[in-house]
Amino acid sequence: MAEPASGADASLGSSETSSARRKTPFGLAITVAGRYRRGACIAKGGSSTVHRAIDQRSGAEVALKSFHVHRAFDPALLPSLETGRAIAAQLGPDVMVPILDLGADDDGTPFVIMPIVEGETLGARLDRAGRIEPREALAIARRALEALDALHGAGVTHGDPSPDNLLVRADGRVLLLDHEGLDAIGAPRAARTTEGFGRSGGTREARDDHRALAAITAALVGDARPAFSDASIDRFITALRAERLEDARAALGWTTERGATVTQWTFGTLAAVGVLLLVMSLLLLLLLLAR
């Protein structure tokens, strides 16, 4: 854990004026709300960035989430974060990463403080490894479904499950991120979702999150995101809950009789056709040279 700031640097924040606040090279305040001293960036998404930070009151290391300009001054953001904070507290830290503090900095920019959780988002995993073996991907999806089931049991949908919003903790449990998108089942859907893993228009339902989870699971193994029917999604979710991973694979259309994924089967077929065409071209060339 990083050591608390000391000396002159520790006084940054409350003793600074708004016009003279020290900032990072990217224009972010070094100290937020006179309390949280920003450190290294640990995650970046479409609408926010997360840094390690030091709470200068307690000396504890925390995660500081700042919002990008296009999102930061949305008047609905802070109320939605307050709602998300209450829901996360109700669900507990084994379902959703809690919010320890939130508010607006001197310039009006909202911020969120969360605990540091040792683990890796699925987005970071994909960036690092490229793809995940199907059996592991389905096991991760099952644990993500446990978190979503707890959320839905509270009458709430996530609204934007995506690889960046699912954190695989060091012990293997999958935690939900992104508090600002939570809303009641039956509420109007947002106009769009950040990563395109959900639906827009109409009213929110648990199947929206299930549909996104199916698409995420496909993305984990390197498949393009297909359009799943409602029946396929229901079969997938039922199989995951029962831990019937082969049935879950079949619901997504991954398996052939040999158990290979569709992506692997297609790639193998194309490779074989390519080799055949190459051999035929060489034979034709030899025939032409022999004349």
**pLDDT, tens only, 235-285:** 999 999 999 989 999 998 875 433 344 444 455 556 677 788 888 888 888
Fold of the CATH domain 7-115:
Phosphorylase Kinase; domain 1 (3.30.200)
Amino acid at 46: G
Q: How far apart, in whole angstroms, are the C-alpha atoms of residue 291 and residue 289?
A: 6
The top-scoring range by mean pLDDT among 41-50, 54-63, 193-202, 242-251 is 54-63
Supply the mean pLDDT for the chain.
Answer: 83
Same fold, 7-115 and 119-255: no
DSSP string, 211-249: HHHHHHHHHHTT-------HHHHHHHHHHHHTT-HHHHH
Q: What is the CATH number of domain 119-255?
A: 1.10.510.10
- The average pLDDT across 181-192 equals 82
- The average pLDDT across 123-149 equals 93
Give pLDDT, residue 223: 76
What size, in residues, is the chain?
291
For residue range 74-120, list pLDDT tens digits in order.
Answer: 999 999 999 999 999 999 999 999 999 999 998 888 999 999 999 99
- Say if residue 139's pLDDT is above 80: yes
For residue range 159-171, list pLDDT tens digits in order.
Answer: 989 999 999 999 9
Residue extents of the structural domains in the chain:
7-115, 119-255
Chain centre distance of CA 176: 8
First-residue to last-residue Cα distance in the chain: 77
Give the SS3 label for residue 111.
Answer: strand
Instruction: Name 183's bridge partners.
Output: 157
Query: Which tokens in the block code for residue 65?
Result: 């989430």
Determine contact, residues 188/204, Cβ cutoff 8 Å. Answer: yes
Give pLDDT, residue 259: 37
